[in-house]
Structure 1
Amino acid sequence: MYAVIKTGGKQYRVAAGEKIKVEQIAADVGQEIVIDQVLAVGNGAELKVGTPLVSGATVKATVVAHGKHDKVRIFKLRRRKHYAKSQGHRQQFTELQIVAVAA
């Protein structure tokens, strides 16, 4: 059984036993969270799509770790205009272990 969930403005296809990295969630490491924004639930060839959410469907996950992605370097340059700007960014994430998908 799998589900399509929405968290942090993005959509993820998840199944029990998988690990995913999502936008940072305010939860402690080891804490179990319940994601109730489930857009679709599938089991084999059967697919149940919500409008926009599937009523009663939840995904249970455990917080494994918090961290930061690799640095993204931003460099802007205007030729012959004496303009050069350098920036960097590291996006924070939360790693989740999917425990169960309940339809």
Structure 2
Amino acid sequence: MALANMLSRKAGFATSRTSAPFVASRVSPVAAKARVSSAAPSFSRQQQSIVCQAAATAEVAEKKVHPSPLTIAAPATYAIVEIGGTQMFVEPGKWYTCNRLKVDVGSKIKFGRVLALKHEGKLTVGKPYLENVAVEAEVIEELRGPKVIVYKMRPKKHYRKKQGHRQDLSKFMVTSISA
């Protein structure tokens, strides 16, 4: 603060404790030239950067604060279900993909291994599963995942093996969560 007061007095500015705080940090010369008006050509670069920082601080203080985009409301009803050895966070009305289910396309299926359920603002956690809770879904389609290349080789032994793999998947739509 003392350095800022000294430089501002040298430049002809009067500072008070109620004015915007000066920040004595360096700004690139290009940014300083862009922010400083042409009415002050006799300032040194350091003085210009201090004036620019004070102006930028005042601009930031005037801007309105918006809520963070990361504050997203959680859905009203959801469940954590174990499907084929993996745990999935599911909501009614949305579709998900998992490893291939042994059912036909268009058939209804019930997942009984529900680990947790949030319904009407109340979270219930099972030990390990919840009793009398099921997630009902309908299988939409059967598809295959992206190709994964597996390449094995032994250096200096003429052993090369290239193999591809595509995982069989099922896409299903969660119709309801019954508690």
- Greater share of helix: 2
| Separation in 2, partners of 1:45, 1:33 | 26
- In structure 2, the partner of 1:70 is 146
**1:32-51 equivalence runs, <5 A:** 32-43=108-119, 45-51=121-127
Deviations 1:26-75 (A, max 9, x none): 21111111111111101365311101100111000001000111111100
Is 1:11 aligned with 2:95?
Answer: no
Moved over 3 A (4+): none
| Separation in 2, partners of 1:84, 1:44 | 58
* Equivalent AA in structure 2 for residue 2 of structure 1: Y
Secondary structure of the corresponding residue to residue 73 of structure 1 = strand
The structure, 1 or 2, with the larger RCO (C-alpha pairs under 8 Å, 6+ apart) is 1
Gap regions ≥5 residues in structure 1: none
Q: How many residue pairs align between the two structures?
A: 103
- In structure 2, the partner of 1:61 is 137
Higher alpha-carbon Rg: 2
Gap regions ≥5 residues in structure 2: 1-76
**RMSD of aligned Cα (Å):** 1.3
| Separation in 2, partners of 1:33, 1:43 | 21
- In structure 2, the partner of 1:21 is 97
| Separation in 1, partners of 2:153, 2:109 | 44
Secondary structure of the corresponding residue to residue 94 of structure 1 = strand
Compare 15-24 and 39-48 and name the one that shifted more.
Answer: 39-48
| Separation in 1, partners of 2:172, 2:95 | 5
- Greater share of strand: 1
Q: Report the TM-score when normalising by structure 2.
A: 0.55
Q: Report the TM-score when normalising by structure 1.
A: 0.93
* Equivalent AA in structure 1 for residue 78 of structure 2: Y
Is 1:80 aligned with 2:156?
Answer: yes
